């Protein structure tokens, strides 16, 4: 099994340790590829729309984005981790997800994404529901890219943010949750399209058919849908 991990921070704090506890039982026998943001993709989307109207290869940041996307496509399991900054995800991770917008079903989805499984892990200074609410942008992006099987782990750290300073009881509880989540991914079977994913796909299909009727020459999105045999 191939696992691709996108770390939303380079800091090796609580987020890092929670992710490591999740990966610990999965590393043996599985290929793990990791990226750290913003180190591996330090650019914000500049809104040039080149990926939408021409090709992703012409994106000014493609040299950094493409290796990460290729690793996502090759993975059986996609893991995204992030601490919570200002009740949201770090800017580096949001920037990467912005570059992935062209891969949404409304534009040019990759059929390989329909069989993927994903895990989203966040932690915050505060209650657990705050950590979970911050996952919205990540889950929305994965869902619109076609991922149906998304599992989540949200940890609230009311007693502190330094891993080694957490009580043994608190660390043990977090580790138990991470390991329990990992056990669900010891053997990954291809996920099928959920009802929600199918509904989104059919909606986008109808939209692309309607747009195609008014295009003398199909645009980049519709060329993709035609090549896939979807319209």
Q: Which residues contact 76 (CB under 8 A, 6 or more apart)?
A: 1, 2, 3, 116, 117, 188, 190
Look up the pTM and report it: 0.95
CATH 3.40.50.360 fits 2-193, yes or no: yes
Helix axes 195-213, 136-144, angle to 10 degrees: 60
Q: 196: exposed, middle or buried (C-beta count within 10 Å: 0-12, 13-18, 19+)?
A: exposed
pLDDT tens over the chain, length 231 residues: 999 999 999 999 999 999 999 999 999 889 999 999 999 999 999 999 999 999 999 999 999 999 999 999 999 999 999 999 988 999 999 999 999 999 999 999 999 999 999 999 999 987 777 888 999 999 999 999 999 999 999 999 877 789 999 999 999 999 999 999 999 998 888 888 999 999 999 999 999 999 999 999 999 999 999 999 999
């Amino acid at each position: 099994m191939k696992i691709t991990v996108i770390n939303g921070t380079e800091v090796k704090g609580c987020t890092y340790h929670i992710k490591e506890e999740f990966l610990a039982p999965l590393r043996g026998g599985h290929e793990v590829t990791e990226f750290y943001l913003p180190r591996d993709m330090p650019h914000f989307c500049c809104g040039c729309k080149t990926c939408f109207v021409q090709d992703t290869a012409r994106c000014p940041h493609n040299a950094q984005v493409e290796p990460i996307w290729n690793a996502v496509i090759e993975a059986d399991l996609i893991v995204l981790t992030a601490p919570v900054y200002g009740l949201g995800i770090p800017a580096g991770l949001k920037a990467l997800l912005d570059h992935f917008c062209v891969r949404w079903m409304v534009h040019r989805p990759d059929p390989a994404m329909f069989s993927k499984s994903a895990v989203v892990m966040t932690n915050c200074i505060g209650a657990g529901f705050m950590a979970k609410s911050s996952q919205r942008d990540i889950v929305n992006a994965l869902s619109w890219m076609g991922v149906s099987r998304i599992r989540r782990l949200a940890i609230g750290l009311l007693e502190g943010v330094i891993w080694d300073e957490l009580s043994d009881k608190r660390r043990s509880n977090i580790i138990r949750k991470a390991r329990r989540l990992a056990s669900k991914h010891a053997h990954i079977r291809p996920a099928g399209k959920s009802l929600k994913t199918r509904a989104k796909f059919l909606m986008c299909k109808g939209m692309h058919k309607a747009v195609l009727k008014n295009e003398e020459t199909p645009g980049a999105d519709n060329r993709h849908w035609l090549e896939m045999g979807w319209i």
